Structure 1
Amino acid sequence: MDFLQWLFEARIPVGDGSLLVREVVGNIFGLLSALGGMRRRVWAWPVGIIGNLLLLTVFLGSVFGAASAANLLGQAGRQVMFIAVSVYGWRQWQASRHRGGQAVVPQWAGTRARLGMVAFLLLGTLALTPLFRLLGSYEPVWADAWTFVGSLLATYGMAKGWVEFWLVWVAVDIVGVPLLFSAGYYASAFMYIFYGAFTLIGFFVWARAQRTAKPGVEILLPDPTLR
């Protein structure tokens, strides 16, 4: 109990402010999960889940922290979504040890799917913004809704093997970074900047792999828990 109390209350002094230890630790677990995912290690999934749980408590600020902390319901909802995906991925990777796994070949989504993704992102943001505002999410609420819908869309695109899912993550980061800075979640904001550069690199890697990959050759998927 003493450790949990320390984890929830501890802060790291930075200049005139401070960072929550659990926000920093949660992002470190996300990074470790990413490294494990790139190496196709099953432990990447439970490590990522721990990071998601910590970040869930961070983004529900007024529930798990000070009363003045900002609630980012879209960011919190992302963590719940990623936990669900991680449980599924954990089971799939464990099972693949016995049946050899399945190949994932990068492919372009096509014009119809691209238009569908754009429509889903815009309409989903419009639909969730008033709901998140009603629940007390941080302003600008549309940005919080955008990051949630975009994260859901990018995760789906990753599962489908669409190269374009990397660009969806870029769109999420462009909105998410200033939102996190304005809400005071500096550790996560800096991590988003790092991920933004990573997603651009990932897009070109997958685009090149799409031209050369063949069925039966396993293409590494990035771990969704690092967002």
Structure 2
Amino acid sequence: MDLLRWLFDAQITFPGGQFILFREVIGNAFGLLSAFAGMRRRVWAWPVGIAGNMLLLTVFLGAVFGSPNPVNLLGQACRQAMFLIAAIYGWSQWRATKIAHGEAVAPDWASWRTRLALVLTWAAGVAVLTPVFRALGSYEPVWADAYIFMGSLLATYGMAKGWVEFWLIWVAVDVVGVPLLWSAGYFASAFMYVFYGAFTLVGFFVWWRIRHRRDRVDTLST
């Protein structure tokens, strides 16, 4: 229990009174490791991500868990809870595919109809969730919090389905996430989003090359 208490309270302090919670750093490290495993199409990407989500959930509900950072980012907190549910779905999908076909996922492009549905769902979700998060006292600008939540939901679903475009959704999430997290004082998460944004671009091209190679093989075999 002493170790858990230390993990919960530990922080890295900087001159001027700024600090970073140690569990925020660890949670983001798990998230990055999960993304790396996802790029490599490894099933263990999902349980590793779940561990990070559980830590970050306590971080973004600062006032609820008695954190030194009293700012609540409800979209970010709900995002972690959503990840727990979506990760179970993705984990089961990739595991079943690996058992049946020998690999966890075969990257493929989403149809244009699916892409349009993703964009419309994202916009509708932001419109619906913004007033909800604002009423619950989330940090301003609340639309950005709702935008990150919906983008993360769609990206996670796209990863479970094996769509190459899910990496680009993450890039769009990071563009808004970095300034929001920095202004709210979640510096470790903001820095991680910068690094993660570059990483997701790499992941996109890795999956794109895999899809491209399969297209060439299919063309030569016909």
Instruction: State the TM bucket, normalised to the shorter chain.
Output: 0.7 to 0.9
CA distance in 2, matches of 1:211, 1:39: 16
- Residue deviations 1:21-64, cap 9 Å, x none? 11011112223334444555555433322211110000111101
For residue 176 of structure 1, report the CA deviation from its aligned partner. Answer: 0.6
**1:112–1:93 CA distance, 2 compared to 1 (3 A):** closer
**1:85–1:22 CA distance, 2 compared to 1 (3 A):** same
Q: What's 2:8 paired with?
A: 8
CA distance in 2, matches of 1:88, 1:6: 33
Root-mean-square deviation (CA), in Å?
A: 2.7
What is the TM-score with the length of structure 1 in the denominator? 0.83
Q: Which residues in structure 2 correspond to 1:65-214 (within 5 Å)?
A: 65-66=66-67, 69-91=70-92, 99-101=100-102, 104-213=105-214
8 A contact 2:155–2:167 mirrored in 1: yes
- Three-state SS of the structure 1 residue aligned to 2:140 is coil
**Which stretch has the larger CA shift, 13-22 or 188-197?**
13-22
Q: Partner letter of residue 52 of structure 2? A: G
Q: Partner letter of residue 126 of structure 1? A: A
8 A contact 1:74–1:147 mirrored in 2: yes
Structure 2 stretches lacking a partner, 5+ long: 216-222
**1:90–1:71 CA distance, 2 compared to 1 (3 A):** same
**1:41–1:105 CA distance, 2 compared to 1 (3 A):** closer
8 A contact 1:45–1:90 mirrored in 2: yes
**1:154–1:45 CA distance, 2 compared to 1 (3 A):** closer
**1:81–1:174 CA distance, 2 compared to 1 (3 A):** same
- Three-state SS of the structure 1 residue aligned to 2:31 is helix
CA distance in 2, matches of 1:192, 1:151: 12
CA distance in 2, matches of 1:38, 1:111: 23
Structure 1 stretches lacking a partner, 5+ long: 215-227
CA distance in 1, matches of 2:93, 2:120: 31
Q: Partner letter of residue 153 of structure 1? A: L
For residue 208 of structure 1, report the CA deviation from its aligned partner. Answer: 2.7
8 A contact 1:106–1:213 mirrored in 2: no
- Residue deviations 1:55-93, cap 9 Å, x none? 000011110134761111111111112212333444556
Q: Partner letter of residue 167 of structure 2? A: W
What is the TM-score with the length of structure 2 in the denominator? 0.85
Ranked by relative contact order (alpha carbons within 8 Å, sequence separation 6 or more), the top structure is 1
**1:207–1:97 CA distance, 2 compared to 1 (3 A):** closer
**Which stretch has the larger CA shift, 7-16 or 172-181?**
7-16
Q: Partner letter of residue 8 of structure 1? A: F
**Which stretch has the larger CA shift, 116-125 or 135-144?**
116-125
**Which stretch has the larger CA shift, 6-15 or 25-34?**
25-34
For residue 206 of structure 1, report the CA deviation from its aligned partner. Answer: 2.4
For residue 15 of structure 1, report the CA deviation from its aligned partner. Answer: 3.1
Q: How high is the sequence identity, in percent, across the aligned residues?
A: 66
CA distance in 2, matches of 1:118, 1:208: 24
8 A contact 1:8–1:65 mirrored in 2: no
Q: What's 2:46 paired with?
A: 45
**1:97–1:119 CA distance, 2 compared to 1 (3 A):** closer
